[in-house]
Structure 1
Amino acid sequence: MDDLFARQDVIKRLLNESRRWAFVGLGDNPEREVHTQARLLQRRGKTIVPVHPSAATVLGEKGYAALADVPGQIDVVGVYRRAEHAGAVVDEAIAAGAGAVWLPLDVIDEAAARRAQEAGLDVVMNRCPAVEWALRR
């Protein structure tokens, strides 16, 4: 994988200018990494949207069972699913009209990332929002 999916200008813009992040895989288990990342971005002023089959309320935000159920514009979709499921989530993000997809560390699907870029979405892959945020301080 090359830096095509980790461009610093895209990372900076998504962290600084986005407002609403849908976290696919965000359930009510605070031990999961997705919970930590969502809480971090929420503390930094982002609106988070939990997307999980349980549709639980997480971190005070109403949850939805699927991206297609989320009303309104989604700036970034955080894909917190195993790599073998990432492509389907990316396709759902494209269908939902999201502005970007962010695949965290070790969630790599280059074909899905290319589909997202071809559809006009920004893509960050194999990067951690918390680490990237810390690098911008």
Structure 2
Amino acid sequence: MAFSNPSREQIKDILRQSHTIAVVGLSDDPSKVSYMVSEAMQKKGYRIIPVNPKATSILGETCYARLQDIPEKVDIVNVFRRPEHTPPIAESAVEIGAKTLWLQLGIANDEAASIAEQGGLQVIMDRCIKVEDSILLPSGK
């Protein structure tokens, strides 16, 4: 069976019920899309946790090298990495008990989706979290 994203209403519910977003591949360069998207989500009230082994702090938040290093509950694992790197990220998202694996616009991987779904996570692929949030929750949660 081919993958299909949750409905817009389901995505709205996911966003409404989520507070903490771990961003895998978040760059400390303000000109990068991952930074701009994460900054916008932070300004909307989401807690952003950067996952970047090469930085110590991004957007005023402590960076972690791996998802497993994050000392608190994560609702969404938002991924800014090439598709071929996403299956191990999906495994880590399952391991930490995240609720949703979200692969950003232009990123899709059926193996990662299968790993996450089998681990009980909702999966969204090839969609921008900032765009979805802006459309579905324009005035915030």
TM norm structure 1: 0.92
Cα deviation digits, residues 80-131 of structure 1 (max 9, x gap) = 1011101111111111111111001111101211221111101111101122
TM-superposed deviation, 1:36: 1.0
Equivalent-residue separation in structure 1 for 2:118 and 2:8 (angstroms): 19
Equivalent-residue separation in structure 1 for 2:68 and 2:3 (angstroms): 30
Q: Counterpart of 2:93?
A: 93
Q: What runs of 5+ residues in structure 2 fail to find an aligned partner?
A: none
Cα deviation digits, residues 33-56 of structure 1 (max 9, x gap) = 111111111011110000011242
8 Å contact from structure 2 (residues 28, 55) kept in 1: no
Q: Counterpart of 2:124?
A: 124
Cα deviation digits, residues 1-48 of structure 1 (max 9, x gap) = 966224323311222220000000113111211111111110111100
Equivalent-residue separation in structure 2 for 1:55 and 1:68 (angstroms): 16
SS in 2 for 1:4: coil
Equivalent-residue separation in structure 1 for 2:3 and 2:135 (angstroms): 17
Letter in 1 for 2:62: K
8 Å contact from structure 1 (residues 73, 98) kept in 2: yes
Letter in 1 for 2:89: V
| 4+ runs deviating over 4 angstroms | none
Alignment of 1:24-103 (within 5 A): 24-103=24-103
- 2:13 is the counterpart of 1:13: yes
Quote the RMSD (CA, aligned, Å).
1.6
Percent identity of paired positions between Structure 1 and Structure 2: 36
Equivalent-residue separation in structure 2 for 1:65 and 1:32 (angstroms): 19
TM norm structure 2: 0.89
Q: What runs of 5+ residues in structure 1 fail to find an aligned partner?
A: none
Letter in 2 for 1:39: E
Q: 1:70 to 1:20 in 2, by over 3 A?
A: same
8 Å contact from structure 1 (residues 27, 51) kept in 2: no
Letter in 2 for 1:66: R
Which one is further off, 52-61 or 72-81? 52-61
